[in-house]
Structure 1
Amino acid sequence: MSFDLYGRRLATCSSDRKIKIWEKEAQWQLQYEWTAHQASVWKVTWAHPEFGQIVASCSFDRTAIVWEESLAKPQTPLLSTDGSQAPAWALQAQLTDARESVHDVKFAPRHHGLRLATASADGYVRMYEASNPMNLSEWTLPESFLADSEGVTCLSWNSNRFDNPMILVGGNSNVAKVWGFTSARQWYVVAELVGHKDIIHDVCWAPNLGRSCHYLATASKDRTVRIWKLKLSSNREEMTEVKQVAMKDHGMFEVWRVQWNVTGTMLASSGDDGTVHMWQQDHQREWQCVSTISGDMSI
């Protein structure tokens, strides 16, 4: 699932091949749903609202698709909360370069323009760019690179507008990598995060609000959550320090997702134990579990 920038709309996707859009009024209401792919839909993500109401999805059917909401499109029979007909979501572009399942899709931070990164089981990260943000049917593929020969599972952008473009990528080889972008428009490995013993299910780059370093989080099949501290050199072209600062687990269960809060000071992780753990630094700068939330609300 993915919230929009304001947290008032929620997009969800499922193995039922559908995408659903929910909106918060007094409570969450289903606003629209449609069959989006020919197979399981793995991820869905929102673009910055500056570019319009746009979501992208990726699927086992080897495609990533860009969808746009438009009031000018034919109306659908699904009613919104006020009884009016909901606006349609139109397929604007179908990106078909991947040779295997596309596992993740993420829009770049707004200051990079309307760009989209995909992670595929064929091992490649592909960077797409809208030729004209006013015409979402035309996307180019200016860059692609082999990020993990065993398959890429997840990616996360560095949202700091003062850094060169950077993206964190995880895959089946148990080593997450930070990739940077040169002025010659080439992607290269800036740092390797070595320590996991199994497949990396998820990665997340923490928002940076004035810190001199970056925090990254990784979640793995090896049942651990790891937090990494990365420090940029003065020219911001390469990492001067890469250090694992915390390793936490969900007991005997795999960890599937990690997500930072908007200030990058608290990390949430979820796993097969049916719980969400909240991690935060204490007064000694050690990462501790400050809360555990159970799906059945019994904890």
Structure 2
Amino acid sequence: MAKTLISTVDGVHCNAWNHCGERMAGGSLDGCIHIFDSPSQFACTFKWKAHNSSIVKLVWGPPEYGDVIACCCMDGTISLWEEAGEDIESCKWKLCNRFQDSSVPVLDIQFGNCVSGLKLVAAYADGHAKVYELLDPLELKRWQLQAEFQNVSHAVERFEKCSSLTASIAWKSSTNSTQQPTFILGFNSNLPYFNVAKIWEFMEVHQHWHPTAEFIVPGEDADQVYAISWAPNIGRPYELIAIAGSKGVSIWHVELDPNTNERPKLTRVATFTGHVGEVWQLDWDMGGMTLATSGNDGTVRLWQSNTNGVWQEVAVIESSQ
């Protein structure tokens, strides 16, 4: 019999673990943020009103910046919160910054801890992305809008009106001082060219973000994107990307050469169709060797590549109810 570790309060519909797995933050329909702590056996230790509308997504900042949470809402606002205090009795969460540049709903946000500094990218329901950068690592309230662009590769596509249900962002972890900030962005929208997941890289020479690759096979129709996950890399000569869409979950090899200006080489090496219905969540283990997938069929499935490079399902976790 499974033991219940956490019972969330009514209305909490999105959550995120911190990096050490000792705390969980939950966002609710009434705009409140809840903190669940393991020293209190995952009881709700903090709760405060963060927004006036439903919270769509919340994420923890990199641990070197302390306990920091960013959350986004349906009203187009993004807020950044920092825990202040020396012990749990005196702690409180304070607002560091509130980004409100649009009334369009924010669908996803993700931190990127790049060599050039901390960044926060947000995806909006109209197919736009905004990149904010922290100006001072010691002042979490000092942010500026670095760039805004649409998830399209050609100028003519920008004139179409995009309406998205969900969006997904995945950053590439920085590994060296010469690597440019890079992330993947895809949408689940009414327009196929907004949906195609694209790699966006910051071009230092031109000081702008540029799409360097698209995850689509020639001759195939564009697929809606439900989730994206960039695997950790501990020494592979290529990157691994997992993308979930209406056709299943695909695994891609991405060859990036930082010493040349050539576009990345993308190869789809596997497609999984084990789930019944949509796949909502993709998570790699710390070594980037095992992929966990979950969706509306109530199962969690684990996938691994064998010695011949063939991806196989190695475990299925089902609900006992």
C-alpha distance after superposition, 1:149-181 (max 9, x if no partner): 634711110003233211000112331101111
Aligned partner (choices 263, 269, 272) of residue 293 of structure 2: 269
Say whether the 8 Å CA contact 1:250–1:271 is kept in structure 2.
Answer: no
1:208 CA drift (Å): 1.0
Q: Which residue of 2 aligns with 1:161?
A: 175
Look up the match of 1:75: none
| Superposition misfits of 4+ residues, deviation over 6 angstroms | none
Rounded to whole Å, the distance in 1 between the matches of 2:262 and 2:53 is: 40
Alignment check: 8 A CA contact 2:30 2:52 kept: no
Q: 1:217 aligns with which of 229, 239, 242?
A: 242
Equivalent residue for 1:192? 214
Query: TM-score, normalised to structure 2's length?
Result: 0.82
Partner residue of 2:121 out of 94, 117, 122: 117
**TM-fit CA distance, 1:37:** 1.7
Cross-structure match for 1:63:
77
Give CA-to-partner distance per residue, 1:240-290, whole Å, 9 cap, x none: 420111111244311111111111111111111011111111222111111
Q: Is the 8 A contact 2:167 2:186 kept in 1?
A: yes
* 1:1-299 correspondence to structure 2 within 5 Å: 1-25=15-39, 27-71=41-85, 85=89, 87-109=91-113, 111-148=115-152, 150=162, 151=164, 153-162=167-176, 163-171=179-187, 172=189, 173=192, 174-183=195-204, 184-194=206-216, 198-220=223-245, 222-233=246-257, 235=259, 237-294=261-318, 296-297=319-320
Structure 1 vs Structure 2: percent identity of aligned residues? Answer: 33
* Distance in 2 (alpha carbons) for counterparts of 1:86 and 1:13: 23
How far apart in 1 are the matches of 2:33 and 2:247?
Answer: 29
User: Could you say if the C-alpha distance between residues 41 and 238 of structure 1 is closer, same or farther in structure 2, counting changes exceeding 3 Å?
Assistant: farther
Q: Measure how far apart 1:30 and its partner are.
A: 2.1
Cα RMSD between the aligned structures? 2.2
Retained in 1: the 8 A contact 2:250–2:268? yes
Secondary structure at the counterpart of residue 92 of structure 1: strand
- What is the aligned residue count? 286
Q: Secondary structure at the match of 2:115?
A: helix
Measured at CA, do residues 228 and 2 of structure 1 come closer, stay the same or move farther in structure 2, by a change above 3 Å? Answer: same
